[in-house]
Structure 1
Amino acid sequence: MPRLHRLTTLVYSNFGTCQKYWNYSLFIVLLISFSCENKQGELPAADVDNGGLIIPGGFEALVVIDSAGPTRHITVNDNGDIYAKLRFSRDKKGGTIGLRDLNGDGKADSLVRFGDYESVGGSSVGVTIHNGYLYTSTVTQVLRNKLSPGELVPSSRTEVILTDTHPNVARNWHTTKPAAFDGKGNMYIPFGSPSDAGQDIEIYGPTGTPEGKGLDPSPEREMNAGVWKFDANKEGQVQTDGIKFATGLRSIVGMTWSPLDDQLYAIVNGIDNFHTLYPKLYSSWQAAVLPSETLVKITEESDFGWPYAYYDHLQGKNILSPGYGGDGIIVDRATAFDDPVIGFPGHWAPMDLLFYQGSQFPERYKQGVFVAFHGSTDRSPYPQAGFIVCFVPLTDGVAGEWEVFADGFAGVDTVENTGDALYRPMGLAEGPDGSLYISDSNKGKIWRVMYKGNKKEFGEKQLDEMNQLTANKTYIKTPVEGLDNLDKGSMLEGGILYNTYCATCHQRNGEGDNNRFPPLAQSERVNGEVEPLVTAILNGIQGEITVRGKTFNGYMPPHANILDDLAVASITTYIRSRWGNKASAITPSEVTKIRAKVVK
C-alpha cells in the first residue's frame, strides 16, 4: 500500500504535464480511496503550533496544505476529499482543485487541478456539494458535476446550470455567485452591483455622478443588488429564468441555507469611499469604521436598502446614504428597509459563513454561525482590519455579541498595508467528522480545526482567555479617532494626499493589494510618461491592465472633480519618488495642460 500512495501522489502532483497517466491514477485512487482513512473516531495529530492559529482552549489545528494556489471557497465531501475554487483560471488547466489525504495524517497528499471552464476576473467564488453534485461558480456561470463514490475528480459531464448574460459582467467586481439550496429543489444566487453606491458608472465611472449623488430610482436594483431563485436541477438557465427573491444587497460573497430556522442567510459587503466622496460629511475615521458589513436573514421580498441606505452598527440602525441626502445622522426613508441580524465593523470584507452541524465541537457552536473575514483594503490612514474568523451566537434568530474564534492569520499586529497580512481567511467548510476547514486566498493555505477537549467543560473560561489574547489587536479593535491614525500629521502634502485618496487601494507601501489593485512601486506606468499617469488620476481606469508582468482588473475612480491641479501634481511627484521609483517631479502647470486635453 505505501507504494500505491507514492505512485498516486506522483501522478497527481504532475497532473498538468502527465495527463496520459490520468486513467491509471484514477483507478488506483478508486482502489484505495477509503482504505487509507483514519480509523473511525480518531482525529489526526495537530501541528505543534496549531498551524500558527490562535484558537480557544480545547481546540487544535493542523495545516492540510501550505500552498494550493490563490483559492476562494472550499467544500468537503463525505469521504474527506476537499475541493477548492481557484481565484483565476486562464491557463486551461482547470479552476478547481481536488485534495485527498491518502494516509490519514490529515495532510493533503494528492492535489489535482480540473474543471473544463475558463474563469475570468478575480472574484470567482462558490464551490459546494449538494445532493451528490459538485456545484462550481465562476464570475459568469454556475456549473455542476455528478460525483461518484471514490472519485476525486468527477468524470461526469459538466452541466451548465446558469449563465450570467450581462454584457459587462466581467467588469462588475461585485459579481460573485455562491450557491445556496433550500432542500426543495431551489438554488439561490446573488447578483452584485457594479457601482459602489448607486451611481451611474457607465457615464461617470465607479465614483458615480457629480458630487457622489446616486441615481434615484436606482436602475441597478432591477437586475443587480439582489438574490434570485432558480431550479437547482435545470440546465441552461439565465437570470430571467429565475425569480427575484430579495433586493437592496450590494455585494454578497458568502451565502448559505441555515439549519437553525430553515432560512437563507448571507454576509454583505458595504459601501466604500465615504471620506473620498463626501469629505465634508465623513471624516477619515468614520470612513474607516463605516458602513457596517452585515449578516442578513433573507426572506422573500425582503429589502435591505442599498443604495438608498446603509447600516451603522455604532448607532444600531439603518442610515440614509449620503448619495441620497444623508449626512451620517439622518434616517428618513431608511426606516422602511429590513435590519440585518448583526452589523460588523466596516470594510472587514466577510467572505464566507457556515452554520456548524457536527457533533465534534462543543454544543454552543451549533447555535450560531461562523464568519470568515478577508480583511480590509480601504481603512487608511487607520490600520487595516479583519483577518479573522468569528462566531456569532444566535438564539431564536437574535444575535449575541460576535467573538473571535480563529486569529493569527495576519501574522503582524498592525496591518498598515493589506499586503502586510501573511494570510487572509476566505472559505469555510465542515468535514464529515465535524472538523472545521478554513482557506486562505493569498497562498491557498488550508487549516483543519478540531476539538479534542472536554465538551462539558468548555465555556466562559476559554472564551475569556481568547478575548484577552485578541481584543486589543489593531486589526480587531475599533480604532481610537486621531490616536490610531497612522499618519500622525508627519507626512508632507503629497504623502498626505496619497494616503487620503490612493492608499485605500494601492496601500501605504505602494505595493497594491496583490489582488485587484496594482503596485505603484517600481511600476513602469509610474516611472514612464507623465501624461498617461496624470490622465489615470484624473479620469480613472476601468478594465484590465498589466503592471510588473501581472494582470489586474480593479477599478480606479476618477479624481478630476475632487483634486485640483496642485493636489494632482503633489500626488504624482510623491509616487514617482517613493518605493524605489526615481522619476522626475511634475508641476501644477503641467497638470493644467493635461487636464485641458483629457478631461471632458
Structure 2
Amino acid sequence: MKFKRLGIGLSLTLLILALIGAQHLHREKLPPGDPDNGGLTTPEGFETLVVADSTGLARHIVVNGNGDIYIKLRYFGKGQGGGTVALRDTNGDGKADIMRNFGSYQDHSSLANGITIRNGYLYYSSSLAVYRSKLIPGQLLPDEKTELILKDDHEHGAHWHITKPMAFDDQGNMFVPFGAPSDACQDMVNSPGGKPGSPGVDPCPELEKHGGIWKFSADKPNQTQSDGTLYATGLRSIVGMRWNPADKNLYAVVHGRDNLHRLFPELFTSWQSAVLPAEEFVKVTQGTHVGWPYYYFDQMKGKKMLNPEYGGDGKKEGEGAKYQKPLFGFPGHWAPNDVLFYQGNQFPARYKNGAFIAFHGSTNRAPYPQAGYFVCFVPFKDGKPTGNWEVFADGFAGVDPIINVSDAKFRPMGLAEGPDGSLYITDSRKGKVWRMMFKGDRNAFGNKQLAAMEQHKQLAHIRTPDEVADNLDVKTTELGQRVYNTYCTPCHQRNGLGDGSRFPPLGGSEWVTGNKKRLIEVVAKGLEGPIQVAGKPYNDLMPKHDFLKPEEMAQVLTYIRKSFGNDADAISVSDIQRVLGTK
C-alpha cells in the first residue's frame, strides 16, 4: 500500500514538473518584446513587439494556426496592391519579413473591415460584400478564386455605416450588421444628415433593412439580405462584433448617435454632446432591440433616454426601460471598433474568457479634447462582466490631450488572438501591428499591476472632461471660428486636416480655395457621392448647413479660406445671397 501511494505521489510530482517544464518551454519560444514595449504601456509582466509598421490603413485582423497574419485594409488598391494583406514571420523573431497584398474583386468601395478564418476559408469583407477564399496549407496567400458569400444590394450613396464585419456561431450561421445612415432616423432625402430640430420618422422605415443584425448561412454563395433573417434590431452602427464560444452568444460594441448639440442646441450643451450618448457593449440574442432610433443610453444616468427627434430633452425616459440595456455603457464617441473574447492560456487566468475592446478614438468631441485611443479589458464570466472595465493598453496616440484626430500617432483598430495566446492589435493610420505577450509570473499577477493601469483613467483622453476647464473654445472670440468649431470640427477637425480617412482636409483643398459658388453650394446644399480632394478619394455625406444665417456662412467660409495654410479671398454676405438666390 505504501508503494502504491508512493507511486501515485511520484506520478503527480512528475506530471506537475512536466507541466511547469512545458510552460517554461512555451515561454522560451515567445520572441522578446521591443526595448520600448512597442511604444505602448501595458500591465507589468506583458511585453509588446511591433510585428509590422507599414501594412496600409489596417482595419480588422486574424491570425492563422501557423502564425500567418491576415489584415483587411480600408481601401482596395490605391497603391496598396489589393484590399487585404498577408504577413509571415520566417525566422521566429516575431517580426513579419514577408508581406503580400491580395484581393482582386469588383467592389472597390472604401470602408472595409471584417476578416476571419473559418473551416479552412479566409472570410473578408468590403463595404458592400462578404467574400471568402480557400486557404492552402503551407501557402501564405489563399486560392486566387474568390467566392461571393453576401452582397449588399441596396440603393444607397454615401451611406455612413455600411461596413460589413461578420461573426460566426458553431451551427453554420454568419451574422452581419446593416448599419443605419442617420443619427435618429431623420428624413435623409429632404434633409441629408439632418438639420437643427429635424424630427425623427415614426415608425422608422430604416429599421426594415438597416439598424440591425441579420443571420445568414456561412457557406451559401451569392446571398443578399433577403436570404437572411433579422436577428436583432435597434443597433445604429456596429464595427466590432464577436461570437463568444464560452457561453455561445453573440456580442457587439455599438456606436452611439452624434450631433446632440449641433441639432438641438437649446436642449443639449456642447459638453453633453461630447460625452453622450454611450457607446454600448451588448449581448445580442434573437429578438434583441437596443432602442435606436427612439432611445439612446446615458451612461451617467444608467438609463435609456428618449432621443430629441422623438420629443426627448435629455431628461425624459419615456418607455426606455423596455429596451435592452448594455452590459457596459462607455463614454460617447470613443468608437469601439473591435471586441475579442480571450480563449488562450498564455495570459494570467483572470483574462480567460474576458473581453478586450479596441477604442479607435473620437473625432467629434469639439470643443473638448478627443477621447478613446486605447484598448480596454472587461473581466467576464457566465455571460456578464465580473468587474469594472480596465485600461489594458495605452499610448497609441502618443500625445495627451488629443486636440485633433490627426494629432494621434496611431489609432487602435482590430484585435486577434494568435495560436499561442498572444494578442495582436492593428493601427488604422499607418498600418502598425503590435503583438502582446505575457512573460511574467501568472500566479503573482493581480492588484498591483492593475492599479498602475488604473491611473491612466485620469488622462485627458480617457477621463470625463471638465465642462469649463477643458472647453477649448473658452477664449475663442472670432465669429467664423466659433461657427467652424461648432459645426465643422466634428468632421474636419480644429486644424482643418480631417480625420485621415472618411472626412477630407480643408487645408490645401481645391474645394475650399477654388470656385466660390461651388463652395457655397456645398455648405448650403450638402454633398453626396465620391469626390477627390488633393488627389485622394472620399465618399461620405456632407450635410446641408442651410440653417446658417448668411452672416454666419460668410464668416465661416472666410475663416476656412484664410486658415489651415489657405490664403484665398473672403466670401461676403452678398456672395452668399447671390449664389442662393436670396438677394
TM-score computed with the length of structure 1 as normaliser: 0.91
1:558 aligns with 2:567: no
1:183 — aligned with what?
170
2:93 — aligned with what?
105
2:69 — aligned with what?
82
1:275 aligns with 2:261: yes
2:552 — aligned with what?
567
1:173 aligns with 2:160: yes
Distance in structure 1 (CA, Å) of the matches to 2:198 and 2:193: 10
CA deviation digits over 1:4-48, x for unaligned, max 9? Answer: xxxxxxxxxxxxxxxxxxxxxxxxxxxxxxxxxxx8551001100
Distance in structure 2 (CA, Å) of the matches to 1:48 and 1:172: 43
1:301 aligns with 2:297: no
Distance in structure 2 (CA, Å) of the matches to 1:205 and 1:176: 19
- The aligned amino acid for 1:102 is T
CA deviation digits over 1:465-513, x for unaligned, max 9? Answer: 1122x12211111101011011223331111111111111110001111
Cα offset, 1:597, TM superposition: 6.5
2:465 — aligned with what?
479
1:262 — aligned with what?
248
* Equivalences for residues 540-551 of structure 1 within 5 A: 540-551=526-537
Distance in structure 2 (CA, Å) of the matches to 1:120 and 1:493: 41
* Equivalences for residues 585-596 of structure 1 within 5 A: 585-596=570-581
Cα offset, 1:77, TM superposition: 0.1
Distance in structure 1 (CA, Å) of the matches to 2:508 and 2:310: 40
CA deviation digits over 1:301-351, x for unaligned, max 9? Answer: 110011000111011011011111100110112222111111111001110
Cα offset, 1:212, TM superposition: 2.2
- The aligned amino acid for 1:273 is N
Distance in structure 2 (CA, Å) of the matches to 1:592 and 1:315: 45
CA deviation digits over 1:202-244, x for unaligned, max 9? Answer: 2221226x72211111000000001111111111111100011
Q: Give yes or no for contact 1:126–1:136 (8 Å, CA) kept in 2.
A: yes
1:461 aligns with 2:451: no
2:414 — aligned with what?
427
Q: Give yes or no for contact 2:76–2:110 (8 Å, CA) kept in 1.
A: no
1:501 aligns with 2:478: no
2:33 — aligned with what?
46
| Residue aligned with 1:271, SS | coil
Q: Give yes or no for contact 1:82–1:98 (8 Å, CA) kept in 2.
A: yes
Cα offset, 1:589, TM superposition: 2.9
1:29 — aligned with what?
none
* Equivalences for residues 303-322 of structure 1 within 5 A: 303-322=289-308
- Say how many residue pairs are matched: 557
1:160 aligns with 2:145: no
What do you get for the CA RMSD once the two structures are aligned? 1.6
Distance in structure 1 (CA, Å) of the matches to 2:220 and 2:45: 45
Of residues 170, 174, 181, the one that matches 1:194 is: 181
Of residues 581, 584, 587, the one that matches 2:566 is: 581
* Equivalences for residues 286-365 of structure 1 within 5 A: 286-365=272-351
CA deviation digits over 1:263-304, x for unaligned, max 9? Answer: 000011110111110000110000000011111100001100
Cα offset, 1:395, TM superposition: 3.7
Distance in structure 2 (CA, Å) of the matches to 1:546 and 1:428: 31
| Residue aligned with 1:237, SS | coil
| Residue aligned with 2:94, SS | coil
| Residue aligned with 1:326, SS | coil
1:409 — aligned with what?
396
Structure 1: any 5+ residue segments left out of the alignment? Answer: 1-38
1:129 aligns with 2:117: yes
| Residue aligned with 2:458, SS | coil
- The aligned amino acid for 2:275 is V
Q: Give yes or no for contact 2:159–2:540 (8 Å, CA) kept in 1.
A: no
Cα offset, 1:118, TM superposition: 4.2
- The aligned amino acid for 1:377 is T
CA deviation digits over 1:382-405, x for unaligned, max 9? Answer: 001100000112243333311110
Distance in structure 2 (CA, Å) of the matches to 1:412 and 1:296: 30
CA deviation digits over 1:536-557, x for unaligned, max 9? Answer: 1111111122111111112111
Cα offset, 1:590, TM superposition: 2.4
Distance in structure 2 (CA, Å) of the matches to 1:491 and 1:174: 36
Distance in structure 2 (CA, Å) of the matches to 1:440 and 1:200: 35
1:32 — aligned with what?
none
Q: Give yes or no for contact 2:105–2:146 (8 Å, CA) kept in 1.
A: no
| Residue aligned with 2:197, SS | helix
1:388 — aligned with what?
374
Distance in structure 1 (CA, Å) of the matches to 2:107 and 2:251: 26
- The aligned amino acid for 1:263 is N
Q: Give yes or no for contact 2:110–2:126 (8 Å, CA) kept in 1.
A: no
1:492 — aligned with what?
478
Distance in structure 2 (CA, Å) of the matches to 1:82 and 1:462: 30
Q: Give yes or no for contact 1:303–1:337 (8 Å, CA) kept in 2.
A: yes
- The aligned amino acid for 2:143 is S
Cα offset, 1:532, TM superposition: 1.3
Cα offset, 1:119, TM superposition: 4.2
- The aligned amino acid for 2:65 is D
Structure 2: any 5+ residue segments left out of the alignment? Answer: 1-24
2:521 — aligned with what?
535
| Residue aligned with 2:379, SS | strand
Distance in structure 2 (CA, Å) of the matches to 1:149 and 1:155: 10
Distance in structure 2 (CA, Å) of the matches to 1:62 and 1:370: 18
Question: Identity over the aligned pairs, expressed in percent?
Answer: 54
1:36 — aligned with what?
none
Q: Give yes or no for contact 1:57–1:462 (8 Å, CA) kept in 2.
A: yes
- The aligned amino acid for 1:177 is K
Moved more, 392-401 or 109-118: 392-401
Distance in structure 2 (CA, Å) of the matches to 1:157 and 1:590: 56
Q: Give yes or no for contact 1:354–1:429 (8 Å, CA) kept in 2.
A: yes
| Residue aligned with 2:564, SS | coil
Cα offset, 1:116, TM superposition: 2.4
1:71 aligns with 2:67: no
Distance in structure 1 (CA, Å) of the matches to 2:221 and 2:529: 30
- The aligned amino acid for 1:405 is F
